[in-house]
Structures are given as structure tokens and as C-alpha cells.
Amino acid sequence: MVMSKATQTGASSVHLQKFSVEYEFPVHFTENLFSPANPVLRDTICRLEPEKRHRCIVFVDDGLTVSLPNLSERITGYATHYRSHIDLVADPIRIPGGEKIKSDLHFTEQMHQALFDHHIDRHSFVIAIGGGAVLDAVGLVAATAHRGIRHIRVPTTVLSQNDSGVGVKNGVNLFGQKNYIGTFAPPFAVLNDSHFIKALPVRDRVAGMAEAVKVALIRDGEFFRWLEINSDALSIFEPPAMTTMISRCAQLHMRQIGQGGDPFETGSARPLDYGHWSAHKLEGMTRYHLRHGEAVAIGIALDARYSVLRGLLKPGDEDRICYLLEALGFRLWHAALEKRNSQGELEVLQGLHDFREHLGGELTITLLSDIGIGVEVHEMDDTLLADAIAWMKMRQAA
């Protein structure tokens, strides 16, 4: 509903325009998405216009061509099988995965060029198949071409299936700042295929579980206890445990985004960024040799210890959190934590200033008051942070 309110003062008038827009998109959990026997992708594309033949362009994370060398053929075969509904305008286009695609605007321009060359309009579909970085970059392209093209995400990593894939953010890096250029634009749909998880390298399967620990710590103590109980099964990637973990984590992220009151982050609170202020800085400091999830695990441990030092979290709970992360396969120390700048200051603490700038000037950090309960603070003590880092180093050496 559109409302307009006018006030008159002398020769001046002010009209207040107010409206709301409802967003809705399906999140599917399936297997073998590109098998002709699986109609999920076709049904998703036809969701609004069942009788129409829809133009589609597909971008694929080139890392998948190693683990799944016949993926492109499977995609084109699927489109051929459903040719009455799907018009694949070109063979799947390979693009770099990881931070490479987000750190060079050349790739963004190339994707825009592909959309232009193939006459992809606002009723066409841009389909992104890959990890979180690929979804971020393709999502930005889809959101900015023609002011918004329908975008279907097919996350292929634990991290993207249980976290970023179900979110509403897109972006790439610039000026050394992660996600400096970006949009809030919900996808048309998210299609999670467990087949991709089975093909992941071990390191990437481990890295994605950090976000499950994170969201459990701030929103669901019972889920945290489930992670503890099932840590052995998760550490060897047993499919039933992995499927439950990914699904529950995704649901919690969706609930926070949809019901948390601030889906487009107009305020300063970022509860889903627990552990991220240092993680983003560590990623850049290590030139992204640290995976995002690996850096988040370190950030979770750091902020858990800091929460104890601030008197917010019960002593001993930080150990419990670290034990779980380590049981899942994380190493909770990196030498970059000790790196100092020319003024002798810990360089990782610059992440707080970057985070404050990203929020618009008011620092808001999520810490823990209990396992399952996040709490917002507006200042961080550098001395206590240094003590927390020293504790982490000592713990690693023990």
C-alpha cells in the first residue's frame, strides 16, 4: 500500500512517501539437481509463468570442473530435456571461484557483457552455481543489470548452503575492503544440492561448519548442544549429520533475516556477523590463504574469550566453544593475530575500525552472554582484546 502525507508550513510543503514491498523466495534442499528425473529447477523457473519458455544464462564456478568434470554437459542436457520451458542461451560460462572473482572488477564487467550480448532481460534468469564468492559476484551482476534480473542461486559449498546462499546480500571487493560494492537483493530462489557437498575437498567441508557454530552460539543453545553431540559424525562428514547441520543452520539464518526486523541492515546491529570483525581482517591480512570459515572460527574463539574477560560469558564456556571448533577440524590460531603495524599496534584491531565504518560510524559488536544468547556492545577494549589473543596463543601452544 502506498501512503502520502503532506504538511504545509508557509510556502514550503513536505510529502512523506511510504510503502512496503513483500519478498518471498523458496529454498529447496534436494539431490542431483541436474538429473532430468529431478524437476526442481524446471519448476522453480516456471514458478510465476508456468507456460512460458524462459531464457536462462548460467555461470559456473570453475573449481567445480575439477571435482565434477561433466557438470556443464549435465546442465545442457537438463535444459535440452526441458526445452519446452528452458531456453539456455549459451553453454555454461566458467568463472573463477573464491576471492579472485570478487577482487577484480574485470570479472564483473565480463559477466555484464555476457548478459548484454545474450539479451538477458528482467524476465530472464541468471543462474549462479558455486561457492559464496561466486554467488556474491553473480548476484551483484544480476541485481545491477537492468536494475534487477531474476537470480537463482545454486550453492555448492557448506558455507554457501548453510549461510550466504540463503541471505539477501551481494557484493565484490574494492579498495582492499571486503564487499565494498554491493546490493541488498533477494534471489528468486535458492536450490541446495547435497551432491555438491560430497564432491567438496575436506578443507572446504570443514570451513563451512564455522557458520553453524556461530549461529548456534547467538541464537540456539539446543543446536549448539546438538553440534557437540554430533561432532564426531560431522568431523568425518557423515551425510545424515551434514544434511541436518546445513538445513538447521540455513533455517536459523533465514529466521534472523526474515524475522529479525532489519533484513537490509539499516541499523547498526549485525548479529549474524558474530566473530566476523576480526575474520574479515584476517582474510585480507593473509591474502585470503585463510578460508572465510577458517577465519570465522578464529574470530568466534577470540570473541568468546573476550566475552569472558568482559564478564559477559561464564568462564569455561570459551573452552567449550573452542573444543567444539577443534573437534570439527579447525585450528584456532594464526600468526597474523600477532602482527603489528609501524606504530606497534596489533594490526587485526584495525578490523574494528573497518567494521565501524561499514556500519556507518557507530560500532556495534555481537558478543555472548550465554551459549545461545548474543548481546550487543558498542565499545571494545584493546587491552582485553590483546589479552584474549595471548590466551589463544597460549592455548594453541599447550
Chain segment 312-337, per-residue pLDDT in tens: 999 999 999 999 999 999 999 999 99
Mark whether 223 and 132 lie in a shared domain.
Answer: no
The radius of gyration of the chain from alpha carbons, rounded to an integer in Å, stands at 22
pLDDT digits (tens, 9 = 90+) for 83-122: 999 999 999 999 999 889 999 999 999 999 999 999 999 9
**Beta carbons within 8 Å of 150's beta carbon, 6+ residues apart:** 122, 123, 124, 125, 126, 142, 188
Does the residue 4 lie in any domain?
A: no
Of 7-21, 300-314, 336-350, give the range with the top mean pLDDT: 300-314
Last residue of a domain, one of 176, 198, 220: 198
**Beta carbons within 8 Å of 68's beta carbon, 6+ residues apart:** 196, 199
Mark whether 162 and 213 lie in a shared domain.
Answer: no
The answer, yes or no, to whether residue 384 has pLDDT greater than 70, is yes
Does the residue 13 lie in any domain?
A: no
The answer, yes or no, to whether residue 45 has pLDDT greater than 80, is yes
Does the residue 254 lie in any domain?
A: yes
3-state helix, strand, coil in the chain (%, to 5): 50, 20, 30
CB 210 within 8 A of CB 203: no
Mark whether 77 and 147 lie in a shared domain.
Answer: yes
What 3-state class would DSSP assign to 355? helix
Q: Residues 233-250: what's their mean pLDDT?
A: 95
- Name the strand (E) or helix (H) holding 365: strand 365-370
Task: State the residue range of the domain holding 272.
Answer: 206-397
CB 318 within 8 A of CB 305: yes
Does the residue 354 lie in any domain?
A: yes
Confidence of residue 1 (pLDDT cuts 50, 70, 90): very low
Does the residue 338 lie in any domain?
A: yes
Mark whether 388 and 249 lie in a shared domain.
Answer: yes
Last residue of a domain, one of 198, 227, 261: 198
CATH number for position 279: 1.20.1090.10
pLDDT digits (tens, 9 = 90+) for 141-175: 999 999 999 999 999 999 999 988 898 999 999 98
Identify the pLDDT of residue 348.
94
Does the residue 15 lie in any domain?
A: no
Residues in the chain: 398
The answer, yes or no, to whether residue 361 has pLDDT greater than 70, is no
CB 34 within 8 A of CB 77: yes
Mark whether 164 and 260 lie in a shared domain.
Answer: no
CB 213 within 8 A of CB 325: yes
Last residue of a domain, one of 198, 214, 230: 198
Does the residue 2 lie in any domain?
A: no
Eight-state DSSP code of residue 340: B
Identify the pLDDT of residue 129.
98
Mark whether 194 and 210 lie in a shared domain.
Answer: no
Report the distance separating Cα 103 and Cα 106, nearest Å.
Answer: 9
Does the residue 21 lie in any domain?
A: no
Confidence of residue 362 (pLDDT cuts 50, 70, 90): confident
Mark whether 223 and 264 lie in a shared domain.
Answer: yes
Mark whether 186 and 225 lie in a shared domain.
Answer: no
pTM reported for the whole predicted model:
0.86
CATH number for position 105: 3.40.50.1970
Q: Which of 45-54, 132-141, 176-185 has the lowest mean pLDDT?
A: 176-185
Query: Whole-number mean pLDDT of the chain?
Result: 92
Q: In the block, which residue shows the cell 559488536?
A: 365
Number of domains present in the structure of the chain: 2
Confidence of residue 9 (pLDDT cuts 50, 70, 90): low
Mark whether 122 and 264 lie in a shared domain.
Answer: no
Mark whether 192 and 254 lie in a shared domain.
Answer: no
Mark whether 74 and 190 lie in a shared domain.
Answer: yes
% residues pLDDT > 70 (the chain): 94
Q: Residues 334-354: what's their mean pLDDT?
A: 92
Report the distance separating Cα 85 and Cα 48, nearest Å.
Answer: 12
Mark whether 127 and 165 lie in a shared domain.
Answer: yes
What are the CA-CA distances from residue 145 to residues 60, 73, 125, 172 (Å)?
18, 27, 12, 15
Confidence of residue 267 (pLDDT cuts 50, 70, 90): low
